[in-house]
Amino acid sequence: MNISVIGTGYVGLVVGACLAETGHDVVCADIDAGKIACLNQGEIPIYEPGLEPMVRHNLAEGRLRFTTDVAQAVRDSTIIFVAVGTPPGEDGSADLQHVLAVAGTIGRSMNGEKIVITKSTVPVGTADKVRQAIAVDATHSFHVCSNPEFLKEGAAVDDFMKPDRVVLGVDSEYAADVIRDLYASFVVSGNQILIMDIASAEITKYAANAMLATRISFMNGISGLCERTGADINMVRRGIGSDERIGRAFLYPGVGYGGSCFPKDVKALIQTMDELGADASILQAVDELNDRQKRSLLHALVARMGEDLSGTTIAVWGLSFKPNTDDMREAPSLVTIEGLLERGGRVVAHDPEAMAEAKRRFGDRIELVKDDYVALEGAGALAIHTEWNPYRRPDFARMKAAMAQPLVFDGRNLYDPQRMAEFGFEYHSVGRASTGEV
Ligand SMILES: NC(=O)c1ccc[n+]([C@@H]2O[C@H](COP(=O)([O-])OP(=O)(O)OC[C@H]3O[C@@H](n4cnc5c(N)ncnc54)[C@H](O)[C@@H]3O)[C@@H](O)[C@H]2O)c1
């Protein structure tokens, strides 16, 4: 099958590589010439486990191509995935300019029947707008379908190759058959393709992310109660997670959710619900609580160390919004670091993969070091934002010896508070009593 994927970011690149891996001819198109030049050399502009060898292999086999010529990519394919960004507009609603620009190009470039599949996360009703934008110049018949993507950064290749489910909103039996066939090799182990109307598919994506974000904000709210009463959020988490109606996943408190999806999708869903008169008050609370939570580590640190941080070095471990990615979009670390710099603090940071991205964002305003222990040298405190594996089992004696003051603010609850006190640290975490005051 000849497939084009328009937009070669975190989603488009994974979709393109995985479809090529299963034998399809895929052309990935993007307007970012720098990105396409890199990809044509087999260089992957993002860190995503397993993606680079897959892209290189399929490039070499000739099943995967990269181009900046979106119109030609459309002409070369019968199935077109739209995977461009849908960033938040000023009012929080999803900005559809890239999606609709691509739709216009598709309309102008038609040379036969096309099946257009929206992978980008778009508000309910967008398929109609895409259809109208294509129809302006369309010379052939076409289908517009919604196939929201549920992959997780850090496990994107696995998620796409072995999806829990494939959600498909279709406008015809024919389109359903073609896309079902396309996904046949990914759903061999009994997971389902859920075929539905387009509006339901569009809403499913937002509802899924909003539900997960709600669980996180809920637990962060309960953490505040634990901190005020001497209770331990870990115990509460286990206590409720063992109820199979609730389940264990996504009950981890922390310094707030970030990334390119949850914050923007919750805001966009609120906007859509408001516009249509549906009650979005739960999501409003989820969003507001998360904004406060993202400032919580900074607030704890300033409450302990004072407003004036000039002359103080703060070590930061973890910059990406979650482990196994270099993505720093909406990362809680950004909030803490900006707050520390505003107060005159010197920030020395480490991340296993996001150093280049941090350099791009902060330039010389922070120091980036390749060794996590070097970041600790002379530090008055350590702030942890990301639960990367190497941070989970550090050499505590070495940490303490390196720091000017053994003070740790842990936004991901990596350590046992009692053990930290025994090692001589003052340890602040989320939803648990602080220990070991120094
Ligand atoms: N990142 C994720 O984990 C994830 C997961 C599921 C769904 N999504 C959704 O998928 C969509 C894409 O997300 P992403 O993280 O891959 O974004 P991204 O910003 O990494 O990539 C988007 C790409 O689209 C390109 N682009 C923009 N306008 C274009 C145009 N007119 N023609 C061709 N290319 C164009 C950009 O240059 C960029 O490379 C979003 O709607 C997002 O909400 C993302």
Q: Report the pLDDT value the prediction gives residue 190, as an integer from 0 to 100.
A: 62
Q: For residues 196 and 208, give the distance between their C-alpha atoms in angstroms, rounded to a whole number.
A: 16
Q: For residues 87 and 122, give the distance between their C-alpha atoms in angstroms, rounded to a whole number.
A: 10
**Is residue 325 in contact with ligand 1, taking CB distance under 6 Å?**
no
Average pLDDT by stretches of 10, the chain with 438 residues: 95 98 97 97 93 96 97 98 95 96 98 98 98 98 98 95 95 94 84 93 98 98 97 98 97 97 97 97 98 98 98 98 96 98 98 98 98 98 98 97 98 97 97 92
Q: Report the pLDDT value the prediction gives residue 1, as an integer from 0 to 100.
A: 82
b vs e for 406-417, b when ≥16 Cβ sit within 10 Å of the residue's Cβ? Answer: bbbbbbbbbbeb
Structure pTM? 0.95
Active site residues: 261
Q: Report the pLDDT value the prediction gives residue 185, as an integer from 0 to 100.
A: 87
Measure 25 CA to ligand 1 centroid, in angstroms.
21
Q: For residues 397 and 174, give the distance between their C-alpha atoms in angstroms, rounded to a whole number.
A: 64
Measure 337 CA to ligand 1 centroid, in angstroms.
26
DSSP state of 152: -
Instruction: Give the residue, by CA position, lying nearest to ligand 1 atom 27.
Output: 84
Q: Which residue has the tokens 């060794």?
A: 371
Instruction: Give the residue, by CA position, lying nearest to ligand 1 atom 38.
Output: 9
Q: Report the pLDDT value the prediction gives residue 390, as an integer from 0 to 100.
A: 96
Tokens of 200: 């339901």
DSSP state of 399: H
E strand or H helix at 346: strand 346-350
**Is residue 83 in contact with ligand 1, taking CB distance under 6 Å?**
yes
> Do residues 308 and 345 lie in contact, with contact meaning Cβ atoms separated by under 8 Å?
no
Measure 76 CA to ligand 1 centroid, in angstroms.
21
Smallest CA-to-CA distance from 115 within 92, 151, 144 is with 144
> Do residues 206 and 263 lie in contact, with contact meaning Cβ atoms separated by under 8 Å?
no
Instruction: Give the residue, by CA position, lying nearest to ligand 1 atom 43.
Output: 121
b vs e for 305-337, b when ≥16 Cβ sit within 10 Å of the residue's Cβ? Answer: beeebeebbbbbbbbbbbbbbbbbbbbbbbbbb
Q: Which residue has the tokens 């300019």?
A: 97
Measure 94 CA to ligand 1 centroid, in angstroms.
12
Pocket perturbation via mutation, ligand 1, pick of 4, 5, 8, 10 by most ligand atoms within 8 A of CB: 10
> Do residues 198 and 169 lie in contact, with contact meaning Cβ atoms separated by under 8 Å?
yes
**Is residue 261 in contact with ligand 1, taking CB distance under 6 Å?**
yes
Kindly give, in sequence order, each residue whose CB lies less than 8 Å from that of residue 430, ignoring residues fewer than 6 positions away: 220, 223, 227, 233, 253, 254, 255, 296, 410, 411, 412, 413
